[in-house]
Structure 1
Amino acid sequence: MVRTSPPRPLDVEALFPEVAALRRDAVRLHPRRGEPGPGESSLGGPVRWPRAEPWPSCSDEHPRTGYAPPRGAGPVPLVPVVQLLAVDVPELPFPDGADVLQVLWCPFDHEEGYAPRPQVYWWDGSRADLEPADPPRPDGAHHDYVPDPCVLHPERVTEYPSWDLPEHLHDALEERFEQVEEETGWSYEYHLSVADGTKVGGYPAWSQDPSWPHCPRCARRMDHLLSVDSAEFDGESWRTWLAVEDTPATGTVWELPYEERKSIQRAADLLLGDLAGLHLFTCTHCPDRPYAHRAGA
């Protein structure tokens, strides 16, 4: 089944023409519980891995939080988080010769953001040595940081900046934002600008001041690659970012039985911080695609 975000309830560019030049395209991935195969795009599903390549692990020192490996556990095997194929998400900035993106992460807290630390891999999916992987499960890994297998339903949407709105523009528009919300009940920040949920491209769904990384090689600001989010929507954003196909025939999504709502809102059963996300960035100017991440925002 496809997943479709409802049409914007208001014409954003007619109300706020100043943001038109800042529009960006994003791909909402709409993870839903399922049984993806190792050769398919997925969140938390099985992946293919080069036969001769050792499975990657993390040897970092981890802060002693509730999400720390057992003492003396040694290197921590990474867990597959996202696998995306160019045939499903051609918008990704694949390097030459690559058509598979994989994100793996260490499922324990790291000092930066007190969240999992991701690693990004790009592969040529036609390689003869790519085989279904059978990675070891890290000892003591908390289920909050190990996604349940989900199939994906990519959907293209248009976004406008919220926290990334230039300060002078925000100041100029703030009164209009408030007036429109008072008159219509629709918030620019929650309902009209940036999509929640796991997605490719567009704007990160920051919950505080933006923190864009810069490339360590060329010093340019990196581009938003993708976000892995705990939730598809929250208590404010659900009115415009809950998929049409998942909208109850009567009542609201919050009136559904808990497990039914969770299968829509938090299909992968991830819990990063306070229903936060992990944002990944890459430099498309450098052929080896340096990357960085920001957590908990």
Structure 2
Amino acid sequence: MTRTTPPRPVDVEELFPELVALRREAVRLHPRAGEPSPSESSVGGPLLWPAGEPWPLCPSTSHPEQWGQPATQGPVPMVPVIQIHRKDVPQLASPAGADLLQVLWCPFIVDGCPTATPRVIWRSSAAVGPVVAAAPSTVGTAPRDSIPAPCVVHPEPVVDYPSWDIPEELSPALQVRMEELEARTGLWWGYHLAEAPGIKLGGYPSWTQDPCWPDCPSCGQAMDHLLTVSSGEYDGESYRTWLPLEDRDSETGEEREDATGGRGAHRAARLMIGDAGGVYVFECRACPDRPVAHHWDCS
């Protein structure tokens, strides 16, 4: 099933023409619980990983006790975060010869790992050949909150506008009009109208705290935002503008409950980054080897 973000209830570019030049294209992945195969795009699903290629391990061999988990010594396998085929997301800015994006990270990425930079891999899917049967298990050795549950995805292109990333010289004048809009409509710019929440490619990071853009260690330029992995598809009242139409109750506008009384769209991947925060993955597209960095925050 497709997923459709409702049109913004106000004309953003008419109200705030200064932001037209700052609009960015993003792709909301809309993960939903499922059983994706290694040949499909997914969040937390099995990867199209070559059988003859070693599975990546976290560079750190010691992870401290946290969240009720005992300290872990020895290599920890990285866990699949996303796999995206360019056929499903034509907007994917892949390097020449690659049509498959795979992102993995250490399951101790939040607080417990000093070298937790995610692993970003670009491949040609046609060159993979035989694949591994399954990723190495981390059950019982790693916190579950940063290990995405297997989900199918429903990619949807959307437009992002900045909130935290509004240039300082524009902020004072815009702030006055944004507060007027909120008083008139109840729509908070950064919460209801700016950048899309959830798990997405491109656009602006869905920051929970102040922005933290890394610079490339090789060329010194600000890195490009590749991926946001948020704890939920939406947050609290932001369902008003960000919950897809297909998941809405026709009477209340809130998320429709399933047969068990659950709400599968909200936290389909069952992630909790810190306290309802997110992980932001960056890469430098100006450098041939595309260096990678990340930042995480919480509410």
TM-score interval, normalised by the smaller of the two chains: over 0.9
Segments of structure 2 that go 5 or more residues without pairing to the other structure are none
Amino acid at match of 2:151: C
Q: 1:191 is matched with which residue?
A: 192
In the superposition, relative to structure 1, how do residues 29 and 100 fare at CA in structure 2: closer, same or farther (>3 Å)?
Answer: same
Matches within 5 A, 1:108-119: 108-109=108-109, 111=111, 117-119=117-119
Does the 8 Å contact 1:278/1:295 carry over to 2? Answer: yes
CA–CA distance in 1 between the matches of 2:57 and 2:117?
Answer: 11
Tell me which moved more, 176-185 or 194-203.
176-185
In the superposition, relative to structure 1, how do residues 3 and 12 fare at CA in structure 2: closer, same or farther (>3 Å)?
Answer: same
CA–CA distance in 1 between the matches of 2:113 and 2:9?
Answer: 35
Deviation at 1:113, TM superposition (A): 8.5
In the superposition, relative to structure 1, how do residues 294 and 67 fare at CA in structure 2: closer, same or farther (>3 Å)?
Answer: farther
Amino acid at match of 2:170: L
CA–CA distance in 2 between the matches of 1:247 and 1:4?
Answer: 11
Deviation at 1:27, TM superposition (A): 0.3
CA–CA distance in 1 between the matches of 2:289 and 2:14?
Answer: 40
Matches within 5 A, 1:103-182: 103-109=103-109, 111=111, 117-138=117-138, 139-182=140-183
Does the 8 Å contact 2:255/2:263 carry over to 1? Answer: no
Tell me which moved more, 123-132 or 171-180.
123-132
CA–CA distance in 2 between the matches of 1:25 and 1:104?
Answer: 23
> Identity across aligned pairs (percent)?
51
Amino acid at match of 1:180: L
Amino acid at match of 1:231: G
1:33 is the counterpart of 2:23 = no
Q: 2:58 is matched with which residue?
A: 58
Q: CA RMSD in A?
A: 2.2
In the superposition, relative to structure 1, how do residues 276 and 259 fare at CA in structure 2: closer, same or farther (>3 Å)?
Answer: farther
Tell me which moved more, 60-69 or 21-30.
60-69
CA–CA distance in 2 between the matches of 1:114 and 1:231?
Answer: 25
Amino acid at match of 1:135: A
Amino acid at match of 1:23: R
In the superposition, relative to structure 1, how do residues 111 and 248 fare at CA in structure 2: closer, same or farther (>3 Å)?
Answer: closer
In the superposition, relative to structure 1, how do residues 133 and 248 fare at CA in structure 2: closer, same or farther (>3 Å)?
Answer: same
Deviation readout 1:266-292 (Å, 9 max, x if unpaired): 001111111111110111111211111
Deviation readout 1:171-202 (Å, 9 max, x if unpaired): 11111111111112212111111110000000
Q: Secondary structure at the match of 2:182?
A: helix
**TM-score of the aligned structures, taking structure 1 as reference length:** 0.93
CA–CA distance in 2 between the matches of 1:87 and 1:67?
Answer: 41
CA–CA distance in 2 between the matches of 1:102 and 1:128?
Answer: 13
Does the 8 Å contact 1:25/1:202 carry over to 2? Answer: yes
More strand by share: 1
In the superposition, relative to structure 1, how do residues 209 and 288 fare at CA in structure 2: closer, same or farther (>3 Å)?
Answer: same
In the superposition, relative to structure 1, how do residues 122 and 260 fare at CA in structure 2: closer, same or farther (>3 Å)?
Answer: farther
Q: Secondary structure at the match of 1:168?
A: coil
Deviation at 1:141, TM superposition (A): 2.1
Does the 8 Å contact 2:100/2:122 carry over to 1? Answer: yes
Segments of structure 1 that go 5 or more residues without pairing to the other structure are none
Q: 2:97 is matched with which residue?
A: 97
In the superposition, relative to structure 1, how do residues 268 and 90 fare at CA in structure 2: closer, same or farther (>3 Å)?
Answer: same
Q: Give the length in aligned residue pairs.
A: 296
Amino acid at match of 2:97: G
Deviation readout 1:66-122 (Å, 9 max, x if unpaired): 2756443x1011111110111111222211111111111111246589896421111
Q: 1:13 is matched with which residue?
A: 13
In the superposition, relative to structure 1, how do residues 221 and 110 fare at CA in structure 2: closer, same or farther (>3 Å)?
Answer: same
Deviation readout 1:40-64 (Å, 9 max, x if unpaired): 1000111111222111112413233
